[in-house]
Amino acid sequence: MAVSSFLFTSSLQGSMVAPKTLKCYREYMGCPSNLSCGQSGYIKSMYLTHLRILPSGKLSKREQIEGVSPKDRIQCCAVQVENAPSFSVGKKFQLDDVIEAQQFNRDILGAIFEVAREMEKTEKNSPGSQILKGYLMATLFYEPSTRTRLSFESAMKRLGGEVLTTENAREFSSAAKGETLEDTVRTIEGYSDIIVMRHFESGAAKRAAVTAGIPIINAGDGPGQHPTQALLDVYTIEREVGKLDGIKVGLVGDLANGRTVRSLAYLLAKYQDVKIYFVSPDVVKMKDDIKDYLTSKGVEWEESADLMEVASKCDVVYQTRIQKERFGERIDQYEEARGKYIVDQNVLDVMQKHAVVMHPLPRLDEITVDVDGDPRAAYFRQAKNGLYIRMALLKLLLVGW
């Protein structure tokens, strides 16, 4: 799949339209860092030499940017925009795949959330929706999943589509025989219209997107990212807290291995006057790449060892599980980290009345069960919101706005 042009920040008036502007995306798939943005009216995008994207082998009105080897599969081009991309009904979605949180800006996030609200109405009032009738979704999961896989499958079926599924592709697919991910993806795209994939390796979703001629949705790639979880997290924060600008968020637990907190940090950076607190055991601190990214975007962040103090300040306490499966043979480090930060009634007592507790689930003992009855416990509402976000993404990727 081609890496889509990014949406371009603007204030929306009337119909939601993104203006002609410049946006360089140099991070994705190793695009050379020395590329310079050209004149106004051009959008820097990246295209794969893929027949589905470039049927004639060339683009109209483009400038080939120097510095990209002809043998590279990815070419960086400047494409003149004649008509500004639109979020209006019937228009094509601006992304071809959902791979990482950096693909989104706040305009497209707001537009997706609006579609998610429509999907909630559809789920409640139109159980026989046929929006995706005739489409097939394949779920290719190399790691265990409950909420993500089932919510995607439920989303597809609630919109009239069909599902092909493999629950443990690492053991019960040809991967067990040594088949490469690329060959698996090429095969499955022949049977389906969209692939939702979870993999144990960071970067696997990008590899799949390069290979596939149909949309790829990253449902988690090892300790890398989980963009659809981040989308539903931000959607939940907006619904629960009532705003996204000017909020304080405490990310707690396994911040080194947790792909959900990484993706969430990227999305929170899209909003104004956000402050993020990192609360974690020493062995699973947030990695420097996220800290550096937040700093580059002017987002204030702080590391703290005091959960109680942070909880008293925050609008959102986002707790995560210490991920034993990421420690391998370092069991002593896992035991050292587990149980250090627990959200219980004592934490609730210092939290503000409007604040919420969130968790991507599953939980072990990092949130005590007595917290469940407090109205500020938002994690099961959060999980439900995943259905609406994923219904929205499937609809947008397959049929557009």
Which residues are designated catalytic?
147-148, 177, 198, 226
Strand order in the sheet with 216-221: 162-166, 136-141, 194-199, 216-221
**Cα–Cα distance measured from residue 236 to residue 376, given in angstroms and rounded to the nearest whole number:** 12
SS3 content of the chain, % helix, strand, coil (to 5): 35, 15, 45
Q: On the CB side of 14, how many CA atoms lie within 13 Å of its CA?
A: 2
**Cα–Cα distance measured from residue 171 to residue 323, given in angstroms and rounded to the nearest whole number:** 21
* Per-residue 3-state assignment (H helix, E strand, C coil) for 132-177: CCCCEEEEEECCCCCHHHHHHHHHHHHCCCEEEEECCHHHHCHHHH
Angle at 8 between CA 237 and CA 207, to 5 degrees: 80
Return the sign of the alpha-carbon dihedral for residues 74, 79, 83, 84: positive
Contacts of 25 (CB under 8 A, 6+ apart): 3, 6, 31, 44, 45, 46, 102
